[in-house]
Amino acid sequence: MRGPHNIWRLIRTGATLERTGAMGVVLEAFNAPKPLRIMARSIVWPFRWLGIKGDQNMPPVVRALSALGPAYIKFGQVLSTRPDVVGGEMATQLRVLQDRLPPFSVAEAKKAIAAELEVSADQIFSEFSEPVAAASIAQVHKATLAETGQVVAVKVLRPGIERAFRKDVDAFYFAARFAELFLPGSRRLKPTDVIKHFDGVVTGELDLRLESASASEFAANTAKDAGFQIPTILWQHSGRRVMTMDWAEGAPLGDNDALDAAGHDRHALGSRVLQLFLSHALRDGFFHADMHQGNLKVAANGDIIAYDFGIMGHIDEYTRRVYAEILFGFIQRDYQRVAEVHFEAGYVPADRDVDEFARALRAVGEPIFGMDATKISMGRLLNYLFEVTERFGMETRTELILLQRTMVVVEGVARSLDETLNIWDVAKPVVGDYIKQSIGPRALASDLMKTAKVIARFGPRLPGLVESALIAQSTPVETPPVRVWRYVALGIVAGAAAALGGSYAALLWL
């Protein structure tokens, strides 16, 4: 699937951008140098007739991405949250890709429900609406349960979406391997690993059972978060291609006019969106990784309602601590500490100069902090940081790709609500609280408790393990004194393990 035939798909991508008029718009939005614009369009123009025409009623870029398929639509969804990158007008146009794509018919949706749940959709639902939202992978219907009268949202995968998405991803793999082969400088970025990560994330989105599980876990983690709601999953009416949940009533977070008319404080909403994301990522290590406006609503009481849990991010506790220290270091403008954390985590090769790296980071941070609040940007910081780490030989950290991408998306959402929002002021208390809890005496005690818990689990096996170790280590060549000291050392280890396990058990008893 990932052979040279994918060259055709890549050529057709460029041809579609040119035929729909999107090529010039994209190059203009990204401020591409004039020579590059001329060269790019000269290369693609002869193949223009091979491009997909698309829906001529749509704006050029939306028209091109919609015609090219689900993976390209996902890319457009990310750009729709970045008016500071693509401009306000294009960002507004791209929001159509979030939940207003051409739908498939109600008849097809009901057919998919019957096939998945093995019960006629008309038996389950007394009412079943036309699609209320249609995105790249699935669409949503508003329905009423026949048995209870409960109003629910029913999400159904698009017919044939798995095959369509696989074609796109295969072309991406081919392009990544082509780049690694012919552009040695790109190998540091691990393009194939990046595409593999993207593939795994969206493949998970194609199984709605996994999304239901993610929603359930996310709801448990955030149950005590003020001003935040998660719809409840109805497992008995959900499966691989169908998911049913509570209906979320509220104003779309991307509709500022509706939010103003309802009397909501957009500055407070923007701050809360960013703080919730940081809290979920750092506190729980499990966060909503697709938090664009199309997946967020505001309830009448001002609560933010999140839905669409197909893409969730997970980072382990060690990585969370490293990332928090880096972010907090920038907030505090402690560039020396930021540099040291990069070296301690192994992100930057040990043979580089830490002081020189700190000075390079200062050159990144200081200009940003000197900007007006409306121009301060985490996205800008990540871009500049990327340039610096490239110079110092840092490889792409695939485990952080989704976190960084989501941070850029969430920042774009917050800025769309209030462009004067000071990102650093909003982030500081959340990151600072996490640093206090994860680094220091309290964190050390917590780590010891976790270690004791693991050791306690092996408590019944410790005598046998120690005896086996003693027998294995008692060789004829050992002199009696050496053997005695070995026994003593093993005894100390076993005693310490038993003590830790006993302490943990005693704490549980108390």
Residues with a catalytic annotation lie at 290
Helix axes 6-19, 60-68, angle to 10 degrees: 160
Closest to 152 (Cα-Cα) out of 351, 307, 3 = 307
Radius of gyration of the chain (CA): 27
For residue 84, report the phi and psi dihedrals to the nearest 5 degrees.
-70, -15
d(CA 282, CA 389): 23
Beta partners for 197? none
Residue 413 contacts residue 426 (beta carbons within 8 Å): no
Give buried/exposed letters for 196-215 (b at 16+ CB in 10 A, else e). Answer: bbbbebbeebbbbebbbbbb
CA of 163: how far to CAs of 1, 159, 182, 482, 507, in Å?
12, 9, 29, 66, 54
Q: Helices H, strands E: what count in the chain?
A: 24, 10
DSSP letter for each residue of 100-141: BSPPPPHHHHHHHHHHHHSS-HHHHEEEEEEEEEE-SSEEEE
Q: Judge residue 347's burial from the number of C-beta atoms within 10 Å of its C-beta, 0-12 exposed, 13-18 middle, 19 or more buried.
A: middle
Tell me the torsion sign for CA atoms 321, 270, 252, 71: negative
296 within 8 A of 406, measured Cβ to Cβ? no
CA distance 279 to 228: 12
135-151 burial code (b ≥16 CB/10 A, e <16): bbbbbbbbbbbeeeeee
Which tokens belong to 137? 């992978």
Cα distance between residue 320 and residue 179, in whole Å: 31
